A and B are shown apart, each in its own frame.
Chain A
């Protein structure tokens, strides 16, 4: 158990819909990262938050947005969903530096029908 929790574990929805994925970091970690894992793209970094503020942005689509709340949990919002958004979405947490170990949650599997 990494100490990072993600809900829900599975999500099935239709094209055009909007969903919210939630992540709670390990106790003491200030930074949250979001990743997308798909068969064709592999594991892609989406975005990083540190203590409530956006720190780094990766290959995140404009239809996707995220935030980190004062209690440090984070939410990833995916809107206008397309079939190609079907993937595993991972959240990871760390103390914040790139050299620090990132602890991954179990992931949310999103299926868009």
Chain B
């Protein structure tokens, strides 16, 4: 079964510090991986996604993530965070449903990033 584990439920950091939000997935087949961000009282917004090719994926707002197949990880990083990055971040993996070819996204529990001045 495919699942997603976000190892940290909360990550506090100071402004301009680097941050890494960890995500591990379990899957025996090739998957697509996503990071979404949810700002307070808003819907989710895609930060970046890994479909194939280069394992280093660059997204919006200066975020990047590295796909590591051997460690089944897809950690999100930013070298220098801003106050405005305070939000909840969700890792998601694609999962096939049944045998009909349909798929869905399975989301992790989320990591709340708080950037302090």
B26: Cβ under 8 A from any A Cβ: no
- In the complex, how many residue pairs between chain A and chain B have their CB atoms under 8 Å apart? 54
Q: A104-B45, A107-B43 are in contact. Are A56 and B105 (CB under 8 A)?
A: no
Q: What is the predominant secondary structure among interface residues of chain A facing chain B?
A: strand
Query: A45 contacts B44, CB within 8 Å?
Result: no
Number of chain B residues whose Cβ lies closer than 8 Å to a Cβ of chain A: 22
A-B contact pairs, 25 of them (CB 8 A): A2-B45, A4-B43, A43-B90, A43-B107, A43-B110, A44-B107, A45-B104, A45-B107, A48-B104, A57-B97, A92-B43, A92-B44, A98-B104, A98-B105, A99-B49, A99-B51, A99-B94, A102-B44, A102-B105, A104-B36, A104-B43, A104-B44, A106-B41, A106-B42, A107-B43
Q: Supply 5 further A-B pairs (C-beta < 8 A) apart from A2-B43, A57-B97.
A: A2-B45, A55-B102, A98-B32, A99-B94, A107-B43
Which 9 pairs show the lowest CB-CB distances between chains A and B?
A: A104-B43, A56-B102, A98-B103, A43-B107, A104-B44, A45-B104, A101-B46, A42-B109, A98-B94
